[in-house]
Homo-oligomer: A and B are copies of this chain.
Amino acid sequence: MAYQDIFAALADPTRRQIFENLRDHPKTVGELAKGQTVSRPAVSQHLRVLQDAHLVSVEPQGNRRLYSIKREGLKELRDYLDCFWSDAFSAYRAEIAKVMENKGEE
C-alpha cells in the first residue's frame, strides 16, 4: 500500500464523493448509495477501492456494514506532498545555459 493507490482512489469523482460523504460521520452502504446516482454495487466496488487504499474502514454492525473514514491513507498522502516543499530547484534556472551547450551527449 502506498500513495499510488490513494491517488488512484481519490481520482474518481464518484469515489471521492463517497469519501467526502463519509466526512461527517460513518455511514452504511445503503446510506451512501442513497446519495449517489450510481447503483449500490457500484458503491460497494468504490468502497472496496477506498478500503484498499486505507482511506476507509469497515465495522460490521449486524446486517449492515458501517464505513468510516480512516485518516491513515490521508496521512500517507500528506507525507508524500511534504516531500515537494524543498527549495532545491531555485538555483537551477541559470544552469540551463550550460545545458544548452552540451547538446548531443547520451
A residues near B (Cβ < 8 Å) are 4, 7-8, 10-11, 13, 16, 22-26, 28, 31, 59, 61-62, 64, 66, 68-69, 71, 74, 77-78, 81, 83-86, 88-89, 91-93, 95-96, 99-100
Contacts and interface: CB of A to CB of B under 8 A. Distances in A.
A36 to B, nearest CB: 15
Contacts of A96: 26, 28, 61, 64, 66
Total copies of the chain = 2
A21 to B, nearest CB: 11
Majority secondary structure, A binding face: helix
A99 B23 CA distance: 18
Q: Among A13, A16, A85, A89, find the residue whose CB has the most chain B CB atoms closer than 10 A.
A: A89
Given A13-B4, A66-B96, A96-B64, A24 B89 contact: yes
Nearest to A95: B25
